Structure 1
């Protein structure tokens, strides 16, 4: 297939439409539950009060706001693909925004800005404090302002929706690829998202990975959990498809899992819990730290290459290991002095070359 055929094929799979809509209409859509902004996303989007205030300032000053990307679901409801921060800010300001428990969030109070210092302390409408509320004319100015909608129609290839979400959100307010993945999973399979989130709270897992605050904030624990699910039983030939993009490979496999109606939640949960129970009991927070044979101790912080060998090796063999009295610590020490591990876990080795070698090696080590 030539380049033009590839272009033509993909263009057919992405069907879009454009509307110009007033902010009043965007508010009505939310009130009538005809748009889904996924309250689960709110933790991944980190707009400060001043960023929110600047959006309201832009609307009041007539500065054009970029369009909102939405995807039309089978039931006609719009899923927000890009523009969650903008819509959430507007809904929070007018006192309509709800959290995951369907409770109204405290309405936004604005801060002063360079061009409109008198925005400081202003609210949408507060009958008990009219002095600090917008006037009727100012509220109408906002409600009549336009924000375009680009609608990805339901005839579009569903993968295009997630691809678009990823491209529009990577490098914006979302800090990491896993946060983008979490949002994609919420859009595609909320049950799986909440199941994953609950698994990630497992105390033995958290103790073994022993991550600092920053990676936890950036959802790295969820990425490690996803790596466990994706690579635990994957065939070796599949791993060779990683090429240069481990992040894209993980996203692709996650979407496959989310679409799989026969996904075995209980089997995967049993493998996960047993793996980290074994590690917790024998190694705890040393599980994925570097072992120094000369000092006979574990040093430093979490290493993903150690996780790929040890967690996935135990996960693959967990049923056999459950009933045996294997000395896991001794096996882990053997891994650290084996050339197979040292050759493929160095800082110069990329994931494309590392994973297809280390995962099978881990499976052998814990047979």
Structure 2
């Protein structure tokens, strides 16, 4: 990250009541964004258990001050929660009567066992709803790369947000929905196998976002597919490059742009599965010719971007030679390093994206 000028930072510290925060989360005019966005799709990764939630509500009822929250404000005045998602989600659940205070998790207020918000006596409800919280609001004048760095620095909770989770919180519904649609498609599921699925307590298979690794992979594909590599050279970091592209998806991309990206993404997924099967997006041992290790995001970029524009029939007809050509790249020390360490550097991005493309061009000359 380039050093940034502290004078660029615009932060306002505001006091809200819990009632005001709840209203901002719940109120939404038709065809308008919420005043305060908890990133609904992000809540699939809501990780607090019942005990953590009830202890938070008990603390508020006891009058214990909450740690400060961090909000991101966009140019339209809407705000997204960056730090404090778990706490505000818990408060929202309680005030919506979705959380019941269970005796085994109450340390001091056991007489409230079984209570929901609506069942509290009027005085207790007023005290809870009138509790003041402090929020640091990062104003829209603050550059996005500076905002990202601030959120990364203050992100100190029990389950710190990943880089993609921060980008997700800073994004709008348009890019969130677009990336969700890509990673929940059958072509992506087939290409990545069961990597983004896990079994729940009952033994049923459920989709697991792996802290939004899937969204980051889709975003990286779309960004590098759309933007010339020489422009990546001027980016201060891979994370900021991806954040800028997410902003483009939200604010500037036309429907035709999104359709083109979607088509290329699905074609890339199908082709990678045809060529590599379960070995797609994994390192191949250069001598015993077998895939190994876990799914690798850098190899995902390398293989998908190389194969995105080839018709299926051509890939099927040349499957073996394509696989060998891309597999042999792991014998090249520069390529192997480009997909295994320091993968955000410009030189390594060029190596892992250009080398497979050139290898395929040789096949079809």
Q: Same fold (TM over 0.5)?
A: yes
1:212 to 1:342, Cα distance in 2 relative to 1, 3 A: farther
Q: Which of residues 249, 266, 278 in structure 1 aligns to 2:241?
A: 249
Provide the rounded CA distance (Å) in 2 between the counterparts of 1:75 and 1:255: 14
TM-score (norm 2): 0.77
Provide the rounded CA distance (Å) in 1 between the counterparts of 2:213 and 2:100: 30
Match of 1:99 in 2: none
Q: Which runs of 5+ in 2 are unaligned?
A: 29-34, 199-207
Q: In the alignment, does 2:186 pair up with 1:194? A: no
The answer to whether the 8 A contact 1:336-1:342 is kept is: no
Return the offset for 1:184: 2.1
Match of 2:31 in 1: none
Match of 2:94 in 1: 93
Q: 1:173-212 CA distances to partner (integer Å, 9 max, x unpaired)?
A: 35422222222223xxx12211211111222322222325
1:341 to 1:249, Cα distance in 2 relative to 1, 3 A: farther
Q: Which of residues 347, 355, 358 in structure 1 aligns to 2:352?
A: 358
TM-score (norm 1): 0.77
Match of 2:134 in 1: 148
The answer to whether the 8 A contact 1:275-1:311 is kept is: yes
Structure 1 window deviating more from structure 2 (23-32 vs 349-358): it is 23-32
Q: 1:246-282 CA distances to partner (integer Å, 9 max, x unpaired)?
A: 3343333333443324471111111111122222334
Q: 1:297-356 CA distances to partner (integer Å, 9 max, x unpaired)?
A: 4444423443233212112xx156765655234222233334774433248632124322
In the comparison of the two structures, how many residue pairs are matched?
338
Provide the rounded CA distance (Å) in 2 between the counterparts of 1:323 and 1:338: 21
Tell me the SS of whatever aligns to 1:125: helix
1:217 to 1:68, Cα distance in 2 relative to 1, 3 A: same
Match of 1:100 in 2: none
Tell me the SS of whatever aligns to 2:70: strand
Q: In the alignment, does 2:180 pair up with 1:181? A: no
1:258 to 1:169, Cα distance in 2 relative to 1, 3 A: farther
Match of 1:209 in 2: 192
Q: Which runs of 5+ in 1 are unaligned?
A: 97-105, 127-133
Match of 1:135 in 2: 121
Q: Which of residues 324, 344, 348 in structure 2 aligns to 1:333?
A: 324
Return the offset for 1:359: 0.6
The answer to whether the 8 A contact 2:60-2:66 is kept is: yes
1:281 to 1:348, Cα distance in 2 relative to 1, 3 A: closer
1:340 to 1:273, Cα distance in 2 relative to 1, 3 A: same
Match of 1:260 in 2: 252
Tell me the SS of whatever aligns to 1:366: helix
